[in-house]
Structure 1
């Protein structure tokens, strides 16, 4: 199966990002903790190369705790500040403010030496679709946030949210869309739901997931569905269909329904804490 992305958005998004990047001190990049590399935008590093960088491992509750620790160490060696969060329930959000101040310590010191006091850090949040960017912004900002209005030099219509006296957030950041050649990246993004299911072959996606789980997370399918993991991937999906999906007319197994159930269970975390790629 060939995994396609969203064409046509790239140039516009890039242009928007290049304009916005001049105004900010820090790029906060959300990635999905289950696929921290596949869910990174390949253009962010180039566009934000002279800015402070903070990577948030979002949906960390759905990923392996051991792998989360490995990924945090990996990004640290690359020079990024990193925090693992769950934007939906707010876990880890309190640590983000401290990480922002730490990431921008040099800028804050530079301002202080110049006699500039109390100028907040200006941050931009970026992330690919379905990585939880909007949820993070809403959770991080909370109900107390106030829009500070247009500022000099800011393109008309761009609004800043004053989170507190230390941090302002650009609330309409340009979202960049990855353009990938590696189909493994496409497979990972399809599995986490960043590519619309309507354009995917869900049966094939489920078979790929079963193959991965049999190799790296033995026992999780048996525990969830009571199926044997000893057979090939098609027979395993058949057993899941037998136990969860019922049968079609003619007494045939409903593989498509079983595939949808499996993918949904993975995305929600019913199969356990699973990371799809390793540092």
Structure 2
């Protein structure tokens, strides 16, 4: 299933972001620690490189992610030029408070009253930017919601006489290249429900959990996952939660939502949907499939 979601206001948000980038010293890019690359907006990368701006890559929701996977991602990002990575939970004020000084280290020349550090926070919808902004400013200035794309306009705030930050709306990009990225984003609620089929997303998630976190899956729902497939996992959730339709059939839709919500809330444990190694393998498969598809017409 190919998932695409690009609400109209995001086109204007991109144009405004490009303008603000010109007068920004450091970009704070917030991603979901459970799927850092899938939740990285390539448009942010393009805008940043065009203006040659350094990036503080913030892997938010690290309290929900597999710590070993997060450690691997931090090392992976820190190898990239102009990038510094840090894992935080935006609900932890102490962790958030570190971000301005980390940005300062990326732009040491902007450390005077006449040359204040200008930061810009960017990211896709529902990665926790609003919670992070509220913690940085130390008051409720950004609306927090469980639905993606709550923030819809830019706003600049002074953190001190030497530091300012511009909050931007969550931005998706026009075309999600890899199906698995769309499914990971949907599972993590970064995409509006009108663009997805919950049952298909739940089956994708169940398959990934069977492969990487079978023990946590079995512990949460109290049934053995040995030898079963992803559809059977969702059916098992329906049985254990007594979710049935009026006709007495297993309610696959409601069970799908239970599985997805349990993952989003961290009730399945600390889970990462991708690692640097799984990302590399996925890209290699995609390249091989593209090369095969390109060569196929020539063989006929």
The TM-score bracket by the shorter chain reads 0.7 to 0.9
Distance in 2 separating the partners of 1:134 and 1:17: 17
Shift of 1:165: 3.3
The match for 1:224 among 217, 220, 223 is 220
Matched with 2:4 is 4
Matched with 1:268 is 265
Native 8 Å contact 1:58 1:87 kept in 2: yes
Matched with 2:84 is 81
Shift of 1:159: 5.2
Matched with 1:176 is 171
Matched with 2:210 is 214
Native 8 Å contact 1:27 1:53 kept in 2: yes
Aligned-partner SS, 1:61: coil
Shift of 1:9: 4.4
Q: TM-score, normalised by structure 2?
A: 0.81
Aligned-partner SS, 1:210: helix
Cα 1:261–1:174 change in 2 (3 A) is closer
What stretches of structure 1 of length at least 5 have no aligned partner? Answer: 146-156
CA-to-partner distance for each residue in 1:28-70, whole Å, 9 max, x for gaps?
A: 1000001100111101122112112111001111101111111
The match for 1:132 among 128, 131, 134 is 128
Matched with 1:154 is none
Native 8 Å contact 1:85 1:91 kept in 2: no
1:255 is the counterpart of 2:252: yes
Distance in 2 separating the partners of 1:275 and 1:81: 20
Native 8 Å contact 1:191 1:205 kept in 2: yes
The match for 2:200 among 183, 201, 204 is 204
Distance in 2 separating the partners of 1:255 and 1:175: 31
Shift of 1:118: 5.2
Shift of 1:160: 3.1
Matched with 2:43 is 43
Distance in 2 separating the partners of 1:74 and 1:83: 11
Q: TM-score, normalised by structure 1?
A: 0.86
Distance in 1 separating the partners of 2:216 and 2:99: 33
Distance in 1 separating the partners of 2:140 and 2:104: 20
Aligned-partner SS, 1:160: strand
Aligned-partner SS, 1:57: strand
Shift of 1:197: 2.2
Q: CA RMSD in A?
A: 2.1
Native 8 Å contact 1:57 1:82 kept in 2: yes
Higher alpha-carbon deviation: 59-68 or 80-89: 80-89
Cα 1:65–1:12 change in 2 (3 A) is same
Aligned-partner SS, 1:56: strand
Count the aligned residue pairs. Answer: 260
1:233 is the counterpart of 2:230: yes
Cα 1:204–1:158 change in 2 (3 A) is closer
The match for 2:183 among 187, 194, 216 is 187
Shift of 1:268: 0.5
Cα 1:225–1:54 change in 2 (3 A) is same
Matched with 2:105 is 102
Native 8 Å contact 2:202 2:259 kept in 1: yes
